[in-house]
Amino acid sequence: MAAPLVFDTQFDPQTGLAVPAAAGLVRVTAPNASAYTFTGTNSFVIGHERLALVDPGPDDDAHLAALDRAIGGRPVDAILLTHTHRDHSALAARMARRLNAPLWFGGPHRLSRPLRRFERNPIRNSCDWDLVPDRTLVDGETIAAGDAALSVHTTPGHCANHLAFSMGDILLSGDHVMGWNSTLVSVPDGSMADYFASLDKVIALPQRLYLPAHGGAIGDGPAYARALRAHREMRTEQVVAAVRNGARTVAHIVDAIYPTQPLPVKLAARMTITAHVEYLEDRGQLQVARKLFGTRITA
Instruction: Break the chain into its structural domains and give their ranges.
Output: 19-231, 235-298
19-22 vs 25-29, strand pairing mode: antiparallel
C-beta of residue 205 within 8 angstroms of C-beta of residue 153: yes
Q: Write the DSSP string, 231-260.
A: HHHHHHHHHHHHHHTT--SHHHHHHHH-TT
Residue, of 146 and 189, whose pLDDT is higher: 189
C-beta of residue 95 within 8 angstroms of C-beta of residue 106: no
C-beta of residue 174 within 8 angstroms of C-beta of residue 212: yes
- Fill in the DSSP letter of residue 137: -
For Cα atoms 159, 70, 14, give the angle at the middle one, nearest 5 degrees. Answer: 75
Q: How many residues does the chain have?
A: 299
CA 33 to chain centre: 15
Average pLDDT, the chain: 96
pLDDT of residue 1: 59
C-beta of residue 174 within 8 angstroms of C-beta of residue 82: yes
Residue 185 has pLDDT above 90, yes or no: yes
- In 123-262, alpha helices (H): 192-203, 221-244, 250-257
Which CATH number describes the domain made up of 19-231?
3.60.15.10
Residue 236 has pLDDT above 90, yes or no: yes
pLDDT tens profile 129-177:
999 999 999 999 999 989 999 999 999 999 999 999 999 999 999 999 9
Residues 6+ apart with CB under 8 A from 271: 122, 123, 184, 185, 186, 187
Q: Tell me, which fold does domain 235-298 have in CATH?
A: Arc Repressor Mutant, subunit A (1.10.10)
pLDDT of residue 263: 83
Q: How far apart are CA 51 and CA 36, in angstroms?
A: 29
Question: Dihedral sign, CA of 222, 228, 232, 233?
Answer: positive
Q: How far apart are CA 113 and CA 119, in angstroms?
A: 12
Among 264, 132, 111, smallest CA distance to 190 is for 111
Kindly indicate the confidence band of residue 262, based on its pLDDT and cuts at 50, 70 and 90: confident
Residue, of 265 and 77, whose pLDDT is higher: 77
C-beta of residue 179 within 8 angstroms of C-beta of residue 153: no
